[in-house]
Every structure is written in C-alpha cells, then in structure tokens.
C-alpha cells in the first residue's frame, strides 16, 4: 500500500511544480525588462531635493528616438516613493536647451508674430484596463501604430477596443507646469473621426491667446498679478488688451495660457527645475483618486507603464521608453 502512495505523492508534486512553473512562465512573458521600485516613506517629499528621495533606488530608463529623433537615444533617471495615501515620481534627464516657448507672441514694433519653438515634455502611460500587447510593446501599440492598423485613424493614437483603457500623465514645460500640474488624460479606442485620447473629468488644459482673426494676442497680464514660472501668463491672471500702443518692439506674450485644473484633471501635481543642462521633474498623485479615468494603485500589485520624452517637439517626434514595471517595496 505504501508503494502505491509514493507514486501518487510524486505525481502530485510533479503536477504542483508544473503548475507553479506555468504560472511563473506566464508572469515572465508579460514582464518588462526593467523594474522601478517605489520605496515606502512615512513623510512625503516636500520637493525635488527632499531627503526622502535618498531611500529610493534609481532606475536609468533608456529611451529610443522616433521620427526626426530616429537613431538617437536618451536616458531618464527615475525614482519613486509612496506614502499611505500618495505616490511620487522623480525624473531627471539631460537637455541642452530649456524649451518653453510654445509659439509665444513677439512684437517687432509693427506687427505681432509667433516665435519659433515648442516645449519640453515627458509623459507616462499606465494601464487602467489591460491593453493588448502593451506589456511587451508599450507605446508602439497606442502611439506609433502602422498605417492600416485598427487604431491608426487619421494619425490619432488610442487603443484597439473600448475594453482597453490607459491613464496618460502629461507634463508640459509651458502648458501645464507653470500652473503646478501635469495634464491628466486617459486613453480609449479610436473612432472613425477622433483619436482615443480624452481629457479627465473636470476642467484644465490651456487656452490660446489670440484675437478672432488670429493676428495678435488678445490678453495681457493683469497689472495686479505676476507672471508664473518661466514668465508664462496663466489664463486666470489674464485681462483683455485695451491699448496696443502700450507695447514696444521686443515685447512678448504667452500664446498657450495654462488653465488651473479642476476635478479629476487636477489629480497630478508637478514641480520642476531646469539647471546645468538638465530637467528635474517631480509628479505626485493620490494612490487611488476615486475616479474611473485614473489607474488605482494598490501597493500589493505591480503595474506596467511606458514613457515618452519630447525635446522642443510635437507629438510625432519623441523618444520612447521600453515598458517599465512599477513595484512597491514594503
């Protein structure tokens, strides 16, 4: 009888080990090549140089250039910490030029015209609901899609089906950072007429400072207010221009005026600094905002995300990262 039990026990162990192997293999297949470990801290970092960041390990995330940046690469030193309520990310990367123009107005003494220049940006995309193939291909699935793909409608990016949903964080040096936030949007499937990027519930973004015929700026700084970071005019501090003769050659005005966000669109707070040819950016948000257009972080789980870096460029020209797995150290 005992000889009959031993094979049964062996078979049980073999099956059990096989199940474990299969489960682990499944995890590896969907796993990214790089991991970012968020360190748990009692006190949230108060800024870019807070001692709390010393507890976090650095993940040097590699970015590969796309479109006009093809053949180039970038490296972003990335850290993360979290408290019982919030999560914080710190990013640092080299950038030879600080780009915050975003088409600002310039007056030459006779006419107004837009200055050349865009803005520097960094964006993060997390899965809210599973996005097919995102764990292995990242932004290539939602952004840089080939012609003819189901989600390649009019050059707009998005997911293939409505069941796939992403949380897109977008820090913009000119259009969001001066207001102290990163733009909070989400990603769903494309339609025949529109892309899949949607604004979170609430208000935010920016507004164009221009007259109806688009020939000159319509607003200036309220005399009782001060310009925001990088000499950017916030929409809330703007008043309509009554006397254009007050301007002289060389004067400039913001074209894309950041709005102070409200509701779910105001979830991601931002702080930044540009010095010695490098950007340092901190983004923070509640672990769980309570909104269904945001990913809800559970420190007991892991999350895949990918990033894109924009160097004075539009959406089509970027540096894209491989997928990174966020895990929480307890």
- For the chain, 330 residues long, give each residue's pLDDT as a single digit of tens: 333 443 443 333 333 333 333 333 223 335 567 999 999 999 999 999 999 999 999 999 999 998 889 999 999 999 999 999 999 999 999 999 999 999 999 999 999 999 999 999 999 999 999 988 787 777 665 664 445 555 444 446 778 888 899 999 999 999 999 999 999 999 988 766 667 889 999 999 999 999 999 999 999 999 999 999 999 999 999 999 999 999 999 999 999 999 999 999 999 999 999 999 999 999 999 999 999 999 999 999 999 999 999 999 987 789 999 999 999 998
Q: Are strands 73-82 and 59-65 parallel, antiparallel or unpaired?
A: antiparallel
Q: How far is CA 193 from CA 131, 152, 159, 291, in A?
A: 21, 11, 14, 26
In contact, 76 and 122? CB cutoff 8 Å: yes
Q: Which two tokens stand for residue 10?
A: 């062996």
CA 169 to chain centre: 3
Task: Indicate the burial class of 282 (C-beta count within 10 angstroms; 0-12, 13-18, 19 or more).
Answer: buried
pLDDT of residue 178: 98
pTM over 0.95: no
Sign of CA dihedral 188, 262, 285, 94: positive
Summary count for the chain: helices (H), strands (E): 3, 22
Task: Indicate the burial class of 41 (C-beta count within 10 angstroms; 0-12, 13-18, 19 or more).
Answer: buried
- Cα Rg, the chain, nearest whole Å: 24
In contact, 324 and 59? CB cutoff 8 Å: yes
pLDDT of residue 316: 77
User: Which letter does DSSP use for residue 279 in this model?
Assistant: E
pLDDT of residue 25: 29
Query: Percentages helix, strand, coil for the chain, rounded to the nearest 5?
Result: 20, 35, 45
| Cα distance between residue 8 and residue 27, in whole Å | 29
Contacts of 154 (CB under 8 A, 6+ apart): 193, 195
Residue 157 φ/ψ, nearest 5 degrees: -105, 155
First to last CA, the chain: 48
> What is the third-level CATH fold of 36-99+119-204+262-328?
Immunoglobulin-like (2.60.40)
pLDDT of residue 176: 98
């Amino acid at each position: 009888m005992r000889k009959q039990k031993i094979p049964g026990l062996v078979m049980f162990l073999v099956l059990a080990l096989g199940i474990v192997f299969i489960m682990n293999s499944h995890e590896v297949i969907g796993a990214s090549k790089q991991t970012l470990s968020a360190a748990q801290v009692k006190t949230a970092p108060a800024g870019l140089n807070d001692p709390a960041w010393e507890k976090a390990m650095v993940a040097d995330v590699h970015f590969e250039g796309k479109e006009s940046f093809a053949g180039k690469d970038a490296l972003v030193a990335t850290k993360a910490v979290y408290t019982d309520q919030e999560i914080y990310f710190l990013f640092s990367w080299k950038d030879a030029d600080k780009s915050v123009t975003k088409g600002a107005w310039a007056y030459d003494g006779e006419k107004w015209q837009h200055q050349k220049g865009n803005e520097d940006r960094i964006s993060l995309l997390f899965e809210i609901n599973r996005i097919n193939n995102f764990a292995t291909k990242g932004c290539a699935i939602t952004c840089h899609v080939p012609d003819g793909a189901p989600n390649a409608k009019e050059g707009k990016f998005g997911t293939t089906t409505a069941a796939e949903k992403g949380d897109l964080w977008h820090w913009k040096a000119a259009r969001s950072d001066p207001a102290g936030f990163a733009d909070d949007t989400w990603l769903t499937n494309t339609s025949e007429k529109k892309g899949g990027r949607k604004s979170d519930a609430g208000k935010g973004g920016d507004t164009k400072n221009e007259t109806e015929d688009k020939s000159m700026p319509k607003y200036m700084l309220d005399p009782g207010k001060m310009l925001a970071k990088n000499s950017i005019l916030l929409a809330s501090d703007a008043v309509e221009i009554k006397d254009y003769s007050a301007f002289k050659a060389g004067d400039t005005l913001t074209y894309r005026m950041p709005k102070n966000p409200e509701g779910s669109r105001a979830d991601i707070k931002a702080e930044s600094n540009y010095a010695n040819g490098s950007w340092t950016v901190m983004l923070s948000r509640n672990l769980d905002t309570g909104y269904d257009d945001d990913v809800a972080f559970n420190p007991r789980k892991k999350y895949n995300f990918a990033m894109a870096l924009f160097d004075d460029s539009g959406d089509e020209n970027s540096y894209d990262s491989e997928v990174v797995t966020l895990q929480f150290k307890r």
